[in-house]
Each structure stands twice: as structure tokens, then as C-alpha cells.
Chains A and B, each alone.
Chain A
Amino acid sequence: MKLKLVINGSESPEDYKLLKSTISTVAALRKTAVLRFSSERLVVVSTPNSSTSNSSILHGDNGQLWCTIPRDVFAAYEVVSARDLNTIAMECSCDALQNIFKKYDRSINQGNDSNLTIKLQSMPEWNVSVTSNADGKAPLKVNPVCALGVTFEEAINTNSDANAVARMGGPAHGNTTKVISHSFKVPTKLLFRAQDAKIQEPMINYTQLMMYRLPTPQGEWGAGFQSFIRRIERYSNVHNIKLSGMKFWQLQDSRASDHELKIIVDELDWSLEICWNGPLDAMIQPQAENEVAVAPDESRADRDGGNVEVDVEASRDQSLFIEESESLDTENTAATEQMHNAHSGAASMQADSRSKHEVVIRSRDWKVCSKLYEAFEEVVLAISHDESCVFHCTLPRGSVEDEDGERPREHGQVIYYMARVKRV
């Protein structure tokens, strides 16, 4: 097993920013995160109890954050492992990593241009006590602890009297540059293949999905949308919020778009509606129209029993990204039909539910979204009616030219999956 990454913050600041903001977002969520290195990319995952989590099902308790960092973000990327795709998975403390990045940041800002090197180092001395504690009973259960060795160099000018040199007019021959070598070891817990396999990207139910391409954060409407997202934050004692996307079938002259996005709070003695009036780019699923025709009766109990599990089961071996939705939807027709039927009651209900997508999420999760929104360029909000909500941020990274011609580089992306807290 071998792992060596090099990144240079001063040569490719955009790439470095992606890595840094990924780590800081993850650190804001939970203490630890799973880093999964494969030959193509680094995936950083924050899930509830990373190492013990046993499924990719979105539970009611917490959101999951999945961040993709393509290999070409790094100046050098070398991952060798015995597993498929050279996968190495580990769990480590985000705070420690974040602190190192902060130190490196400072050094970069002072004009240094050194590389940041990340290596996996085995730490036999750290594992001694662990294995002896296990009593030889189940040594396999104990995850080996390694270190992510992070190093960078910082050159500092030790000339004590710069003025004196300047006065003498000569070249700064008196300047002595000294190099400080920073070296950190972040303890990480290597995950076994089985543990790694359990960490799967959550599934989204595509039957009642509404996706909005949100205004570009840096664009004309970015500041406005940012304040729309944050408006709710001043209400100190709000725990749950309802996101509501509505489609108007009759376009009225007065509104800018035929879609409406609202943040709704409905408490016992007060209610709140924050409505976005700016442009909203809805991405409608074309095949949703056709599916409505099929509506055999199904027992409601079936749905309540475990619709989410069924859905996950159907495509357990795949990691879903939102872009791939269309192709996957056709594969999942069996599952989706079932799902859809459960939703459909009277015909009027159906029309209503198709034009309205609502989900109740935690306001804490929404706050994470507001932070993410600031840091990325393309953001998509997906609302799966009464089930989950996905905040998908992408950072396009230009394109590369190779023998096949020009093609875009793989995007950096962060996807935040939030399960509903309760029914709408």
C-alpha cells in the first residue's frame, strides 16, 4: 500500500482551494471523516459514525457529505493498493488536517511556493498497545492505525537589518535564507475492505424529484440568493424548516419564473414563509410525465414498511451522482413505479404533488448549505418530495487537451445529502 500526494497552493490556487474548502466543510460537520483514495480521485465522506455506519440509507438523524476531488487537482498523485481501483480508505480527524492547511496557507500567503506533500506512513509503535489490548481474540477487528505524514517547507529570510543592506546599495549578499521544514503526522485509521464497502453514497428517489439550478453564487443574483438562504438564520429557535418548490402551470405575467422556491416554518403559534422571487432554473425530469399514467393500487403499508431500503437494494452496487439520473431512472423503473404508486391517491392529489415538492429538513443542515453555496460555482438543489434533499455543488476546472482532443477536466464536487426530519 502506497500513497503519496503533492499539491502546490501557490501554483494552482484554485485546486488547492477546492481541497482546503472540502476539508474545512467536512470539519465543520463532524470530528472525523473518511478519505477514500482511488486511482482516479479522492473522495471525502462525512457520514454519521463513519466506521460503524452500516448502510447508505439516509437515516432521519443526519446528513451525509460526499466530496470528490479529482486526481489532477494534485501535482502528483500516486496511489497503490491491492484493492480494486487501488482504493485506500481511512478515517481521520478533520481538525488536525484543517490546522495543517491553515499553517500552510499562512506560509503561502507570505510568498512561499513550496509543495505540500501527503504520504501514508506506517506507525508500528502506535499499533503495539492496540494489538496487545485485543488479547489475540479478534485481532482482525482492530483497525491498524497509520499516519498521514504532511510536510511542507517554508523559506524565511533571516536578514536582520534589511535597511542596512539597502543603504549599502549592493545586492542582498548578506541575505541568508533558511528553510523550516514543517512535518506533521495525523493519525488515521485504515478501514478494511468490508468497512469501506459499507460506506455507500446515498440514493435519491427520482420519482418525485425537482431539481433547481441555483443562481451562480458569483453572478448577478448570487448575493440575493445567498441572503435568501441565510434569512432563516436569524430565527434563533427554529429547528426544522420546510423547503417547498412549486410549479405554476399557468404562467402569470407578474412573476419572473413559473417556479417558486420557499423556505417555510410552521410552528404552533407562528409561521414563516421566505420566498425567492429572483430567477430560478428548474431542471424537469422529462419521463415523469409518462409515468403518471400507470397507477395500480398498492398497499400503503408496503411503502411505509421500507421504501427507502427497496430503492437502495435495487441499485446497491452503484454510486449515484445526480447528473446520471436520467439513465438510471430507466433502469430503476420497477422500483420507481412502486414508489410512485404509493404516492398517488386521487387524481387531483397527483396533479398537486407533481407541481409541489416539499421536504422538511433540519435548519442546521440548511446552514451547512449556505456555507457550501459561498464556496462553489455551480449549485443544484434537488428536492425529493417528502424524502430527502440534496445540495449539489460543482466547481468546474477548465479543460485539458490530450491526444483525444479537448475535454473538460473532472469537476470537483461536494454533495450534501439531507434526509427528511419528519413527514411534510
Chain B
Amino acid sequence: MLDQTTLFSASTVHLEHITTALSCLTPFGIKDDVLIIIDKDGLSFARQNNKVISIQLYLSAELFISYNYNPPNNDPDAHHKVCVKIHHILDSISVASRDKDDVVECTLSYNGEGSPFVLIFEDSVITEKVEYSTYLVKEWDSVGLELQPDAITLECIMRGDVLYNALQDMKEIGCKECYLYAIAKTGGKNTFALVSRGQLGLSKILLPSEKSILKKLEIFDPVSFEKTFDLPVIGVFDFTSFDKIRSSARIASKVLLRKDVHGLMNVNILSQTDDLILGEVKRSRTAPKVGTMPLSRDYPGIVIDVAILEKARLDEADVSEMRLLMESSEQIPRPIYDPTGVPAKSFEGNGAATPERDNCLLFGVRNMSADITDTAAGEYVPATNDIPLFF
């Protein structure tokens, strides 16, 4: 099946993991095309909606038992793009195997322009082959959705489940517009809050400021771009857009939020394997599946990159309203959002000990350009021992 002359072919048994990863794309339009970028290091799934929000999801080649990409002329920087509908891929890949002893192996292959994207599923008694036409290739257009790295006003790293819970709460109270409020205090007490504006009026969700949850929060002056304190950064987003990151946050272990002076927010999500398995057990309340193949040690986890454009510039009234709302809470000693429901985890030698700049090594280098081949994957997906300690 694996022909060495095929442009791209890869086989895997981690179908459940891939299903979990790809379901993060569904809020971005399940019946729409997703752009798959194939290069020597893995697969990127990219999608952009109305030039307001875009997502890139990266599956590393380590996830596959075999991964063959044979670009013409053996160009190491080569890449190929192909468009497939999200629900097509998801439907196929979510093979629910009842028989735990029988492993389903899936082979993906693509032989360049004009040929279909083929998935072959094999177990001991069934062979399934599905072919998707790929004649629509949309060029990746990320104009306006690229973070300007030297004009960042907010940089923040937090635990994924906390963000997920906050977004879930906002959805439940019927949020229409979502404000983001972040401030770094001179005393070291940082505040990160999401404020919902909906039919219920304004509701504030204050994320816990403990270092174990809000690992890092830095605010930069919008003019000099130097680190600054006691100056809040406020952003406003349409909740239907903002909520699209919820399913990604659900599987996230770490989330890096960065916002630049032009109102673009970049959400970088890393979903590490061990955390993910833990999360799934927690959710489904079932014992870990026996017989599932362990993921490769070198597998860095799912990396998701979302860029969201702010809804509008804030006017003075909004800003003062936000400040009023936030300052009214200064007296309350405990955050409204109580972290006790979140399982406590020890993070040995966390952020405090590590130089601040290193913290964003994992995410910092990765930018929004479609040519992810240009930034060699090794840079933003370092081998396990290169990952900063706090991971």
C-alpha cells in the first residue's frame, strides 16, 4: 500500500487522538474546506473565516508509524497544499472500533495535484478505502491575521482547562460580546478577566491569578513596547468568533495569548499527550483504554494556532465601564472564579525560575505564515528535553 513513489503517504493507529485534534476545527465550519499543508515534518490543517479568525492545527510526523513525503528534487523546504472538507476527514477518521484487540490502521495518501486525498483503513477483516476529490485549492490568505511580533501589548500564558471553563461559562450565560481585561500590578498581583456582555448585562469571570494557573502575564506599553505595570489592556471580541477556540482550549494543556497593538489576538494552544489522556479520562469517567498503542515519545502533542481580530476599537465609554467593573472587585480578596474545582498539579520549577523570554520559546517563533516550512518545525516544536522546564 505504501508506495515509495507516492508524493505523500503516512499511516497511523492513533485515530482517536487525531479525531480529538481535528474536532477542534469543527467550529470553523464543518462543511467547509480545510487546507492541508504537507511537508516533511508533519501536516498542518489551516482554515480562515471571513478574514476575522483563522486556525492552524499541526500534527507532527511523529504521530505516524510511517511518514513519507517525497517532494520532487528532494527539496527539504518543499510543501504541498490540498483542500478537503473538514467533515469528510472527520467522519472517516472517527472509526469507532468495538473490538479492542483489533487495531485499525489508517493510511493517508495524496499524489499531488489532480489526485484524490485517499484514506485507507485496515484491520484484520475489513478494508475501507475512501477518496475525496481535491480540485479546489484555495490559496492561504492570512493578510491582517498575522501578529506583529514587535508590537505586542499583552502576553499571557495560562492553563488550558481554566480558559475552557471560563469560555464554557460565558457560553452558558449567553454572552454576545466578550471583553478581555488584563493588568499587571507592580506588586506582582496580576489580573486576567473575561467579561461577558449579553442579555444579562455584564458578567465578569476573573481567572485565578495563582502562578500555577496564570503562569505569566506581561503588559507592554502600546507606544514604547516596554514592559509596563498598572496599565490595563482591554480587548473586545465578538463572542461567536471568540468561542471558536473553546473546543481547542478543551484539549489544551497550555495556552499562550498574545495581542498586538493593531487589535489582533493570537492564541497558541499546546495539547500535550499525557495531559490530554488525563483530560479524556476525567471527562468520560472511564478507565484508560487497554490496548491503545502509546504515542511516540518524541511526539510533541497537538499544536493549534488561532488568530482573532478584535471586533472594534473600544470607545471611551466602554473603557471606563470596564475599569469601573474591574476596580469594583479590587476589594474582594478572592477571585470569583474559584479554582478549587480544578485539579491541582505541581509544576516544579515553574515560570518564576525560568527567564521570562524563554517561556515563550515554544510559541514565540511560530508565526502565522502559511509557509510553515520556512520556519523549520524543529524550532517551535523542540524535542522533549528542550522544552522549558515548566512544561
Contact = CB atoms under 8 A, between A and B. Distances in A.
Nearest to B129: A273
Interface in A398-423: none
Interface string A228-245: 100100111100000000
B131 A231 contact: no
A259 to B, nearest CB: 14
A221 interface: yes
B130 A236 contact: no
B129 A227 contact: no
Contact of B127 (A236, A269, A270, A275): A275
A221 B94 CA distance: 22
A227 B128 contact: no
A274 B120 CA distance: 10
Interface in A257-314: 269-278
A225 interface: yes
A224 B129 contact: no
Nearest to A225: B125
Contacts of B128: 231, 272-275
B82 to A, nearest CB: 13
Contacts of B97: 227
A270 B126 contact: no
A224 B99 contact: yes
A231 B98 contact: no
Given A223-B99, A272-B131, 8 more contacts: A224-B125, A227-B98, A227-B126, A228-B125, A270-B133, A274-B127, A277-B126, A278-B124
Nearest to B117: A270
Given A221-B125, A224-B124, A236-B87, A272 B130 contact: yes
Contact of A276 (B91, B116, B125, B129): B125
B356 interface: no
Contacts of A273: 128-130
B130 A223 contact: no
Contacts of A223: 98-99
Interface in B129-157: 129-133
Contacts of B99: 223-224, 227
Contact of B91 (A227, A234, A277): A234
Contacts of B132: 269-270
Interface in B55-110: 87-88, 91-92, 94-99, 102
A274 B126 contact: yes
A270 B125 contact: no
Contacts of B94: 234
Which of B91, B123, B126, B132 has the largest number of chain A CB atoms within 10 A?
B126
A226 interface: yes
Given A234-B94, A234-B95, A277-B125, A224 B102 contact: yes
B126 A276 contact: yes
Given A223-B98, A224-B99, A270-B88, A231 B126 contact: yes
B91 A236 contact: yes
A271 B130 contact: yes
A116 to B, nearest CB: 33
A228 B126 contact: yes
